[in-house]
Structure 1
């Protein structure tokens, strides 16, 4: 693994060969710039400034791409010329950054992250096939909760909040004085978002499955099924339910840059902010 902010000469030579071959086949010009810090400059403005200074992309085709990595600032951007924005969409560039580059950058594998991201960009430019964007349902199924991004302790904290709504659901299901369905739907609202926020898609599936199946079964059997009836009697006897004001319970208790060639001399393409950025 290279020191933070540096790219090895072997990696540079390898990528220069890949980028030169891609330019030969398509005329697209792709360049990589790795710096330590942006010195307070805006990432997008910095990327456009570099792309225009290097005259990246051919005039009239606007087919340049700049991959900008600021290691010390922990930021990355894919800057796309006007002519390629229809293929390298902002949403797709964001997916490459978020799903491919950043996970490797977090581990300090800057060269591997750059290489895999560049190869994905090249593949879509050479095939011309824009990948289908994930639907809201696809994104929801892929969500793993706040702990995935912000720390495992939030998964632990989630047990408190999920435990609270299950406690209320337990009482509402077993308490014989609670006969309507209003409280069921009230709690259902909380089951939609609390487990999801902390545990993502599968937390939502498991918690809602338990609630939606368990609550009706207990309600239907709490007056006659042994075991459930006994527990229902205990809950009813030990927890008082007040329906008055809406209901209630109470208990009894360094810089590196390179591209596909030594310089770009085709006149330079135009850039207008197409692409995407990310940080970690």
Structure 2
């Protein structure tokens, strides 16, 4: 069974058919979904979705594109909200220099607050990094020196150098439907070098639908297509890949309840 380690079920794209979206994921062999926060102020909405579906869990945090909207969320508030029984991570948070929607000093401060929350709670940090490889690696090295924390580089589309830096620091790396695109050979080469026991798979739905759904709205059921391509990249059976990456999710998102044993 697969786990979609990163989707956005609270986005309006899914509002009209959320029950059907979750049902299709279940039918596609996706046994758990983690819906990821982009705004702390939407905590109640995201928590309500997770409470509605037994297989859905969530995180709390501020996306870097919203850092200027939520520049001063206190560490104590992130910690308090993370105590919800179905909250399994912090974020997504990080740096986005592609859009530069927030001043970089504010983005840096917000990101470091989320790192502190991950460190204090013991929950993993979900990291967004786009066109910010050097600064991201520098912050991660600096903050890891202040005290260890667990994290995943989500929807990885960055350089092999950032992947290597993250792996050196003990992070996991998650791949989305981008890895299935025809022009993503360099990204597939990065995935080839990421150890299987440090790899996650995700949709980032409703964005980045994998081939053969490219150009459509993405949804958690489509994580199976990304997993199939990644299994080929790693040279393993798709069932083995699904089980391995779900075990990785169990290890990283340790607050998740135990899964039912897989069939032999």
TM-score, scaled to structure 1: 0.22
Identify, as 1 or 2, the structure richer in helix.
Answer: 1
What's the TM-score, normalizing by structure 2? 0.23
Higher relative contact order (CA 8 A, sep 6+): 1
